[in-house]
Amino acid sequence: MATKGKSTFGKSSASMIPWLGLALIILIADQFAKTLILGYYHLGDSTYVTSFFNIVRAHNTGAAFSFLAGETGWQRWFFTGIGVVAAFFIIYMLRSHAGQKLFSFAMACILGGAIGNVVDRLLHSYVVDFLDFHWRGMHFAAFNLADAAITIGAISLILDELLRVRRGK
């Protein structure tokens, strides 16, 4: 039987609440920004911001760097499935390791970003990208806040592991 503050598995679920809150904030910010882009920009529209940054409206039916974007549509469900499986795995990891701050921060960033892109795939069949960085005529692949959160989470995971290895020596 569960006791106050404890789940049926005996681990505290309250400590993962802040991390789920962070993931929710990332999801809301991502979806809000994408809603603005969809409302004010047509596909391909661009606004010059600085010599190295534009706001654009791009649709990505693939994954990072438009991987598999040219396929026939099966990739929508493939990447949606990966995102859903990843979300459940991350929630499990947060539940098991909520006390590890950097690790949990990384997981929350990845969770919020993954769900943000899954929502796009389910609603639109593509991911809305709008951040366009460029330098000397070369453009980095357009991306969004969800992608940025996933990247920050991945960097944080690497840092967490490097610090863990260093503490072990």
Q: Over the stretch 98-142, which tens digit does the pLDDT of each residue have?
A: 889 999 999 999 999 999 999 998 999 889 999 999 988 887 888
User: Does 87 map to a domain?
Assistant: yes
pLDDT score recorded for residue 76 = 63
User: Does 82 map to a domain?
Assistant: yes
pLDDT score recorded for residue 161 = 93
pLDDT score recorded for residue 72 = 53
Of 30, 120, 147, 160, the active-site residue reads: 147
Of 30, 129, 132, 160, the active-site residue reads: 129
What is the signed CA dihedral for 130, 134, 137, 142, rounded to 10 degrees?
A: -30
User: Does 2 map to a domain?
Assistant: no
Domain that holds residue 107: 16-40+52-168
User: Does 45 map to a domain?
Assistant: no
To the query of whether residue 147 is one of the catalytic residues in this protein, the response is yes
pLDDT score recorded for residue 29 = 98
**Tally of domains within the chain:** 1
User: Does 8 map to a domain?
Assistant: no
Per-position pLDDT tens, the chain of length 169: 444 444 444 455 558 899 999 999 999 999 999 999 999 999 989 999 999 999 999 998 766 555 454 455 566 677 788 888 999 999 999 998 888 999 999 999 999 999 999 999 899 988 999 999 998 888 788 899 999 999 999 999 999 999 988 887 6
**Beta strands at 46-50 and 53-60: parallel, antiparallel or unpaired:** antiparallel
To the query of whether residue 30 is one of the catalytic residues in this protein, the response is no
From the list 34, 20, 33, 35, the residue with the least C-alpha distance to 109 is: 20
What lies within 8 Å, CB to CB, of 104 at 6+ separation is 16, 19, 94, 97, 98
